[in-house]
Amino acid sequence: MGLLILMALNCFCVMFLNKKDQTVAVVNCFGMWSAFSLMYWGGSGVSRESLSELFCVDIYSSSMISLSLWICGISILVSSCMINLRGVFNTYLVLVTLLCFLLVQCFMVNTLAMFYVLFESTLIPLASIIGIWGGQIERVPSIQYMAAYTVGGSFPLLLIFTTMEVHAGSSFMWFISMKTSLNWLFWGGCFLGFLIKLPAFPFHSWLPKAHVQAPVGGSVILAGILLKLGGYGITRMMMLFSYTLESFGILVMSFSIVGSVYGAFMCLRQSDIKKLIAYSSVSHMAFSIMGLFSCTEVGMVGAYIMLVSHGFISPGLFVLSGINSEMVHSRKIKVMSDGVRAAPSLGFFWLVMIMANLGVPPCPVIISEVLSVVCVIALYPWVFVLLLMYFILSGAYSFSLYCQLTRTKKKIKMKVFFNEVTLKDMSALYFLFYPLAEVLFKWDLWAMM
């Protein structure tokens, strides 16, 4: 509760600053809020700690809160460096701060009805960001496509919560009784909206469209935190209704395994850098789904390592793609190589982020992948064949991406609009490295014991 009060007071004070200082003040506020949110990491572990009648936290919600604050601050920082961000920048600050405020409340509320309202409300600021600062004329159809998927998929969840309010008289999370006998229809209604949000294969097609049309700051927020709402929602539903491994979960895991291979294969075929990063997100989120639906402690730890670490790695890739595409005014990978040759430091950062995305040790992604693979192979050993295909394809598209970005061309003049990348342009990347190190050294935070 203190965090929400602090956020409201800071936003009120920033309103009285002049326009030149507002960006710096807002970024500093997000940094202070992130540091304040880390206080909850050493709290009561997986048990819920009540903050008031409306809010309570545990390690799952507190880690998502810290991720939300950090990523929204990075979004504002990187957008302030973009020269093609049209319109009034103060409007962007307001929308991102509003979105962050909704996310923090969504991760703290203890009633299912309020959780659903906040879950759907996050779509409004994101759609506004894409609609105002989107890059192409197709941004409006992409918003409609995204809204149809997310709102339509979560409609059965609304029916479940409404039924609980009518028959039980409350949707308070911790007054819900243990399950007795729940069928496929119930689990499908509970999990469908969250699986679309992650997104899970085959409900992923809205994500590349949204990323292509979104500005860099919007892609950072979408990949960094909004996708993680799906994983957090699945965790809460499993805890509340005492979900155990059933045929529904086995079906979801099977689709996720296929989706990881499909996403890696699609990455090999992409020439647009944003689509490539979007499909790599589909592959990585498949491991989170496998870990969650394995219904084991090891799987839960692996799923949250992937959710949090991907929440920092994927925004880093979008930050790099935004800086690089501004230099050449194109998102085509082969054209972006001119920008890397004009600013060699970009090549180093591309190498670091591609290795982190691939899961090269000691990056925390490898820990998540190993834990999730162990859980799945313990159930079905033959799945190792498909997972091996994923690892081969993942290495192939990562190696191909780096080679295309750093390739050399002879006797062709480089078409670069500016050839100097300053410290301010790269500052957003520097702030992403520290939380990745935190995840690496505290990867057992989400363990039950």
Higher-scoring residue by pLDDT: 42, 385? 385
Higher-scoring residue by pLDDT: 163, 96? 96
Model confidence at 212, in pLDDT bands (50, 70, 90)?
confident
Higher-scoring residue by pLDDT: 359, 445? 359
In the predicted model, what is the mean pLDDT of residues 69-76?
85
Q: What is the pLDDT of residue 46?
A: 44
Helix, strand or coil, per DSSP, at residue 57: strand
344-358 helix and 297-328 helix, angle to the nearest 10 degrees? 160
For 148, how many CA atoms within 13 A lie in the half-sphere containing its CB? Answer: 11
Percent of the chain with pLDDT over 90: 15
Tell me the CA distances in angstroms from 246 to 160, 251, 294, one per residue in order.
Answer: 20, 9, 9
In the predicted model, what is the mean pLDDT of residues 180-208?
81
DSSP state of 200: P
Task: Check pLDDT > 70 for residue 54.
Answer: yes
User: How far, in Å, CA of 232 to CA of 229, rounded?
Assistant: 5
Question: What residues make up the domain containing 210?
Answer: 112-445
Model confidence at 406, in pLDDT bands (50, 70, 90)?
confident
In the predicted model, what is the mean pLDDT of residues 107-128?
88
Tell me the CA distances in angstroms from 367 to 161, 299, 347, 378, 440, one per residue in order.
Answer: 36, 11, 26, 17, 9
User: Is residue 182 a part of any domain in this protein?
Assistant: yes
User: Is residue 56 a part of any domain in this protein?
Assistant: no
Residue 347 is encoded by which pair of tokens?
């090549």
Are 327 and 417 in contact, with CB atoms under 8 Å apart? yes
In the predicted model, what is the mean pLDDT of residues 371-391?
88
Q: What is the pLDDT of residue 329?
A: 81
Q: What is the pLDDT of residue 10?
A: 61
Q: How many domains does the chain have?
A: 1
Q: What is the pLDDT of residue 396?
A: 94
* C-alpha Rg value of the chain to the nearest Å: 21
User: Is residue 222 a part of any domain in this protein?
Assistant: yes
Task: Check pLDDT > 60 for residue 85.
Answer: no
- Single pTM value for the model: 0.89
Q: What is the pLDDT of residue 36?
A: 59
Task: Check pLDDT > 80 for residue 6.
Answer: no
Q: What is the pLDDT of residue 45?
A: 46
Task: Check pLDDT > 70 for residue 14.
Answer: no
- Poorest-confidence range of 183-187, 201-205, 381-385, 422-426? 422-426
Average pLDDT taken over every residue of the chain: 80
User: Is residue 10 a part of any domain in this protein?
Assistant: no
User: Is residue 43 a part of any domain in this protein?
Assistant: no
Residue 111, phi-psi category: left (phi > 0), alpha (psi -120 to 50), beta (remainder): beta
DSSP secondary structure letters along 301-364? HHHHHHHHHHHHHHHHHHHHHHHHHHHHT--BHHHHHHHHHHSHHHHHHHHHHHHHHHT-TTSH
Helix, strand or coil, per DSSP, at residue 448: coil
Under 8 Å CB-to-CB from 171, ≥6 apart: which residues? 111, 112, 113, 161, 164, 165
Q: Can you count the helices (H) and strands (E) in the chain? A: 19, 2
Range 344-366 burial, b when 16+ CB lie within 10 A, else e: eebbebbebbbbbbbbeeebbbb
Model confidence at 266, in pLDDT bands (50, 70, 90)?
very high
Q: What is the pLDDT of residue 353?
A: 92
- Poorest-confidence range of 77-81, 201-205, 214-218, 273-277? 77-81
| Residue 63 CB-density burial (10 A; 0-12 exposed, 13-18 middle, 19+ buried) | buried
Q: What is the pLDDT of residue 44?
A: 45
Task: Check pLDDT > 90 for residue 28.
Answer: no
